[in-house]
């Protein structure tokens, strides 16, 4: 049974999430503030965290930063804030995903299950397969329909980061800094050019990609 820590100052949201999660055999612990969330995360370490940003006392961004100091637990932000800056900041400090209120329960549960799968699979052999595509991170090799595909160094670096975080939304800033270097962060035109090249090489229909997905204004996601 996976344990979910739900952190939200709205009692109705906590009740709704608790009811739906328990109905699907999750263990649920609830917190209404950042301070309570951090204390519970130490006393009863969760397998995944669902976190609101607008909390009394310590805000959600600070909670993410504090959690990341002690754990790599998956964190899904659930917030009414639709501002792109808030989303990017949450992802940059360590959130794994971002869902905007009002939300669909089925979508949230799907993202929660995906976050748990990624976390569980971190210790498994780094080979990802999907549709016509096979990516072997250890061998640094990409196959499409069983045939090897040549990638440039930068193209491979993008694949490595995205596939290594399969299912997770990776912010543009994080991608730029991990592939081009820490001095980068705003050159999103680089990403557009290289993602276009990758899709031409690896997607069946580059105009409608199945694996390398753009999350407008936020970043990119690899879907196996």
Q: Which CATH number does the domain housing residue 48 bear? A: 3.40.50.2300
Beta strands 133-136; 141-144: pairing state:
antiparallel
Q: Is the domain of 170 the same as that of 209?
A: yes
Pick the closest to residue 179 from 198, 205, 207, 201 (CA basis): 198
> 101, 121, 141: which is the final residue of a domain?
121
Domain boundary among 70, 105, 121: 121
Q: What is the CATH number of the domain that holds 173?
A: 1.10.10.10
- Please answer whether residues 94 and 75 qualify as being in contact, where contact means their C-beta atoms are separated by less than 8 angstroms: yes
Same domain as 82, residue 20:
yes
- Residues 112, 211 share a domain: no
Judgement on whether residues 85 and 171 belong to the same structural domain of the protein: no
**What pLDDT does residue 131 have?**
77
Same domain, 157 and 184: yes
Q: Which of 103, 121, 139 is the last residue of a domain?
A: 121
Query: Contact, 61 vs 85, CB < 8 A?
Result: no
Whole-angstrom Cα distance, residue 10 to residue 48? 19
Do both 80 and 108 map to the same domain? yes
Identify the domain containing residue 207 by its residue range.
Answer: 127-222
Q: What is the mean pLDDT of the chain?
A: 89
When pLDDT is cut at 50, 70 and 90, the band that residue 98 belongs to is very high
Top-confidence residue, 82 or 72 = 72
Closest CA to 87 of 72, 73, 74, 77: 77
One domain, residues 14 and 96: yes
Kindly state the percentage of the chain with pLDDT values over 90.
58
CA quadruple 50, 72, 172, 57: dihedral sign: positive
From 94, 71, 55, 112, select the one nearest 173 (Cα to Cα): 94
What are 196-217's pLDDT values in tens digits?
999 999 999 999 999 999 998 8
C-alpha span between 63 and 33 (Å, rounded): 10
Q: Tokens 């109705």 appear where?
A: 12
Provide the pLDDT for residue 121: 60
Give mean pLDDT, residues 46-69. 92
Q: Do 70 and 147 reside in the same domain of the chain?
A: no
Query: What is the pairing mode between strands 127-130 and 97-100?
Result: unpaired
Q: In this model, does residue 126 exceed pLDDT 90?
A: no
- Domain identity same for 134 and 109: no
pTM of the model: 0.61
* pLDDT for the residue numbered 124: 54
Asked if residue 10 and residue 107 are part of one domain, the reply reads yes
Domain count, the chain: 2
What is the average pLDDT across 96-118? Answer: 89
| Residues 136 and 111 occupy one common structural domain | no
Distance in angstroms (rounded) separating the CA atoms of residues 202 and 199: 5
Contact 67, 49 (CB under 8 A): yes
pLDDT of residue 118: 77
What residues pair up with 127 in beta bridges, in sequence order? 136
Q: 204-209: long-range contacts at Cβ-Cβ below 8 A with a sequence spacing of 24 or more?
A: 204/131, 204/132
Query: Does one domain contain both 131 and 102?
Result: no
| Alpha helix (H) residue ranges in 44-82 | 60-70
């Amino acid at each position: 049974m996976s344990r979910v820590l739900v952190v939200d100052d709205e009692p109705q949201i906590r009740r709704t999430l608790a009811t739906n999660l328990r109905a699907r055999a999750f263990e649920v612990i609830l917190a209404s503030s950042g301070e309570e969330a951090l204390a519970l995360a130490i006393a009863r370490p969760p397998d995944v965290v669902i976190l609101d940003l607008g909390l009394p006392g310590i805000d959600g961004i600070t909670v993410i930063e504090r959690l990341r100091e002690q754990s790599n637990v998956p964190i899904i932000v659930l917030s009414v804030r639709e501002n792109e800056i808030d989303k990017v900041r949450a992802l940059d400090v360590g959130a794994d995903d971002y869902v905007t209120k009002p939300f669909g329960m089925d979508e949230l549960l799907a993202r929660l299950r995906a976050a748990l799968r990624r976390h569980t699979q971190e210790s498994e052999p780094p080979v990802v397969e999907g549709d016509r595509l096979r990516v072997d991170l250890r061998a640094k090799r990409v196959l499409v329909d069983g045939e090897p595909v040549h990638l440039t160094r930068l193209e491979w670096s993008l694949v490595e980061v995205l596939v290594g975080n399969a299912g997770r939304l990776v912010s543009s800033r994080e991608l730029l800094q991990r592939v081009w270097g820490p001095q980068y962060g705003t050159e999103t035109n680089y990403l557009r050019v290289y993602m276009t090249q990758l899709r031409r090489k690896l997607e069946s229909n580059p105009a409608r990609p199945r694996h390398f997905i753009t999350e407008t204004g936020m970043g990119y996601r690899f879907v196996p």
